[in-house]
Amino acid sequence: MIDVLRHFRNFYSRNAVKVDSISQREFGIGIDKKINYRHKSFSTQKEFQNFLVNETPRFISHSVGRFEFPWSQPMEKKTLLSADLIFDLDAKPEENHNYIFCTRCVEKARLDTIRLIEDFLLNDFGLSKNDLLLVFSGSKGFHVHVRSQVVQQLSSTARRLMVDYITGKELELESLVPIPSKPPRHLSGPDKTSTGWKKHFLETAVKTLDNTGLFTKKKAAYIRENKQMLVNLLENGNWDPAFHDAKEVLNQILAETIRTSAVEVDSPVTFDVHRLIRIPGTLHGDTGFIAKPLSLTEMGFFEATKHAAVFNGTAVASLKESANIEFAGTAFELKAGENVVPLSLAVLLACKGI
């Protein structure tokens, strides 16, 4: 029988967990679920570390907000001072999903997180890499903490608008390609200097010229004969020759742009300044993996079962039923009964109750 809490306690006795602005944070403690109780506070790092070692919760989170009185109840008595901006990305289960731990799902979340950072946070919002703390959540996805002073005082409404922008919510064709209602109906749109959604829309439109099945036979023949000229015109903002009287095609381009460029984030985590978030450097009670801070470079080759597994050695795991899982680059075909496996895999199986 794997004693998960004993391994967690040993980890915390050897590894200090630092919390930014610790005396101003509210903490949520999870014993048999993610949060059993909250409104707890710690005055110092030492007090917090002693709690981890002596009480050893399976889950522990802190508030995205900083408060004058973080222990107070109800919430409004805490007195909000500022709040980090947090983006939480978890991939939804897809085909061939592994119910124990799905590396494919984490890989999808990893790629989405890179797109969020590069396309939106850095390029569109103008944030710096130094403003960002990127963290593997310890389970299904990633958290991006923005701690820049620029965002600390953003209202919940402003944060919600950022989410709407990133997810493409309420993005309308008229904001990208205004369609004239009266002659002369010359169609203008994004060009090669465009940024943000206009840039994504232009890129999708150029690709659409390869799919002439969307157009009438006459228009399709024209596009095939003049494709490079049409691309050049699009890149200079002249959309009329390619898409005159093709509003239905433009709407399909819009839908495809949102499908391929939008990033799905957990909206309440971003706009709720009273939210709790997994503490970087702590262990996740559903997996035994560390909520691991990452650089953008590390994010490029991150694999959870290799880089977030913190327990060394092997152990005997007694399984209730057979199971298959890919772990640290090895495919394990586990049978019901005793199996010798890496200790981190044994902890994962124990956390899952398997």
What pLDDT shows up at residue 107? 95
More confident residue, 185 or 288: 288
What pLDDT shows up at residue 245? 81
Residue type at position 28: G
Domain count of the fold of the chain: 2
CATH number, domain with residue 134: 3.90.920.10
Query: Is residue 212 located within the same domain as residue 155?
Result: no
**Coil, helix or strand at residue 341:** strand
Query: Is residue 137 located within the same domain as residue 161?
Result: yes
Query: Is residue 25 located within the same domain as residue 90?
Result: yes
For the segment 238-279, what is each residue's pLDDT rounded down to a tens digit?
999 999 888 899 999 999 999 999 999 999 999 999 999 999
Structural domain of 202: 173-261
Backbone angles phi, psi at 248, to 5 degrees: -60, -40
Tell me the chain's radius of gyration from C-alpha atoms: 25
Check if the beta carbon of residue 195 is closer than 8 Å to that of residue 201.
no
Query: Is residue 227 located within the same domain as residue 185?
Result: yes
What pLDDT shows up at residue 345? 98
Query: Is residue 139 located within the same domain as residue 214?
Result: no
**Cα 249 to the center of its chain, rounded Å:** 31
Instruction: Write a three-state SS string for 39-64.
Output: EECCCCHHHHHHHHHHHCCCEEEEEC
Query: Is residue 158 located within the same domain as residue 15?
Result: yes
Query: Is residue 131 located within the same domain as residue 90?
Result: yes
Query: Is residue 48 located within the same domain as residue 195?
Result: no
What pLDDT shows up at residue 200? 96
For the segment 75-118, what is each residue's pLDDT rounded down to a tens digit?
999 999 999 999 999 988 877 889 999 999 999 999 999 999 99
Q: Is residue 333 part of a domain?
A: no
Query: Is residue 223 located within the same domain as residue 283?
Result: no
Beta bridge partner(s), residue 300: none
CB-CB neighbours of 268 under 10 Å? 12
Angle, alpha carbons 314-317-320 (nearest 5°): 165
Q: Is residue 30 part of a domain?
A: yes
Distances from the Cα of 340 to the Cαs of 20, 29, 320, 337, in angstroms? Answer: 39, 32, 14, 10
pLDDT at 182 over 80: no
- When pLDDT is cut at 50, 70 and 90, the band that residue 140 belongs to is very high
Query: Is residue 193 located within the same domain as residue 251?
Result: yes
Query: Is residue 146 located within the same domain as residue 113?
Result: yes
Percent of the chain with pLDDT over 70: 99
Q: Is residue 335 part of a domain?
A: no
Query: Is residue 93 located within the same domain as residue 187?
Result: no
CA distance 147 to 25: 14
pLDDT at 184 over 70: no
Backbone angles phi, psi at 274, to 5 degrees: -105, 10
pLDDT at 12 over 90: yes
What pLDDT shows up at residue 235? 97
Q: Is residue 341 part of a domain?
A: no
CA distance 203 to 242: 14
Q: Is residue 314 part of a domain?
A: no
What pLDDT shows up at residue 297? 95
What pLDDT shows up at residue 94? 78
